Amino acid sequence: MNKLTPAELALLPKLDRIELITVRLPFVQPFATSVHSWAVKEALLLRIESGGVVGWGECVADPDPYYSYETTQTARHIFKDFLLPQVEAGISFAELGERLRPVRGHGMAKAMLENALLDLVARQRGVPLHELLGWPGRRIQSGISIGIKDSIPELLSAVEEALRRPYHRIKVKIMRGKDVAWLRALRAEFPQIALMADANGDYRIEDAPLLRELDAFNLTMIEQPLSYSDIVQHAALQRELATPLCLDESIHDLDDARAALSLDACRIINIKQGRVGGLLESLRIAAFCHERGVGVWSGGMDETGIGRAFNLHLQAAAGFTLPGDTSETSRYFAEDIVAPGVVLADDGFIEMPTGPGIGVQVLEDRVKRYELERERLS
Average pLDDT in the 141-170 region?
Answer: 94
Residue 6 to residue 312: CA distance in whole angstroms = 20
Cβ atoms within 10 Å, residue 349: 15
Longest Cα–Cα distance in the chain: 60
Average pLDDT in the 323-331 region?
Answer: 91
Residue 102 to residue 83: CA distance in whole angstroms = 10
Q: What is the 3-state secondary structure (H, E, C) of 262-301?
A: HCCCCCEEEECHHHHCCHHHHHHHHHHHHHCCCEEEECCC
pLDDT confidence tier of residue 2, bands split at 50, 70 and 90: low
325-337 CB burial, b ≥16 within 10 A, e <16? bbbbbebbbeebb
pLDDT confidence tier of residue 318, bands split at 50, 70 and 90: confident
Q: Which of 41, 149, 178, 272 is catalytic?
A: 272
Q: Which of 149, 171, 173, 178 is catalytic?
A: 173
Per-residue pLDDT at 200 exceeds 80: yes
Would you say 336 and 141 are in contact if contact means Cβ atoms under 8 Å apart? no
Q: For CA atoms 151, 154, 156, 158, give the dihedral sign.
A: negative
- 22-36, 99-113, 277-291, 316-330, range with the lowest pLDDT: 22-36
Q: Which residues lie across from 246 on neighbouring strands?
A: 223, 268
Q: What is the pLDDT of residue 289?
A: 96
End-to-end CA distance of the chain: 35
pLDDT confidence tier of residue 375, bands split at 50, 70 and 90: very high
- Which residue, among 26, 127, 61, 142, has the nearest Cα to 354 in the 3D structure? 127
Query: At 59, which helix (H) or strand (E)?
Result: strand 53-59
Q: What is the pLDDT of residue 6?
A: 81
Q: Is 90 left (phi over 0), alpha (psi -120 to 50) or beta?
A: left
222-223 and 245-247: which strand pairing? Answer: parallel
Average pLDDT in the 262-271 region?
Answer: 97
Would you say 140 and 316 are in contact if contact means Cβ atoms under 8 Å apart? yes
Would you say 304 and 339 are in contact if contact means Cβ atoms under 8 Å apart? no
Per-residue pLDDT at 1 exceeds 70: no
Average pLDDT in the 258-274 region?
Answer: 97
Listed in sequence order, the residues at least 6 apart from 39 whose beta carbon sits closer than 8 Å to its beta carbon are 26, 27, 30
Average pLDDT in the 206-233 region?
Answer: 96
Per-residue pLDDT at 170 exceeds 70: yes
- For the chain, give the number of residues: 378
pLDDT confidence tier of residue 56, bands split at 50, 70 and 90: very high
Active site residue 368: no
Would you say 42 and 24 are in contact if contact means Cβ atoms under 8 Å apart? yes
Average pLDDT in the 320-327 region?
Answer: 92
Segments making up each domain of the chain, as ranges = 6-130+363-377, 143-358
Q: What is the pLDDT of residue 320?
A: 95
Average pLDDT in the 179-208 region?
Answer: 96
Active site residue 149: no
Q: What is the pLDDT of residue 31?
A: 79
Residue 297 to residue 299: CA distance in whole angstroms = 6
Per-residue pLDDT at 33 exceeds 90: no
Q: What is the pLDDT of residue 34?
A: 72
Average pLDDT in the 210-231 region?
Answer: 96
Please calculate the CA angle 247-258-226 and round it to the nearest 5 degrees: 25
Which top CATH class is 143-358? alpha beta
Q: Give the model confidence (pLDDT) of 328-362 as tens digits.
A: 999 899 999 999 999 999 999 999 998 999 999 99
Q: Which residues lie across from 48 on neighbouring strands?
A: 18, 55
Cβ atoms within 10 Å, residue 215: 13
Listed in sequence order, the residues at least 6 apart from 220 whose beta carbon sits closer than 8 Å to its beta carbon are 169, 194, 195, 196, 244, 322
Where does 6-130+363-377 sit in CATH, by number? 3.30.390.10
Q: What is the pLDDT of residue 32?
A: 75
Mean residue pLDDT across the chain = 95
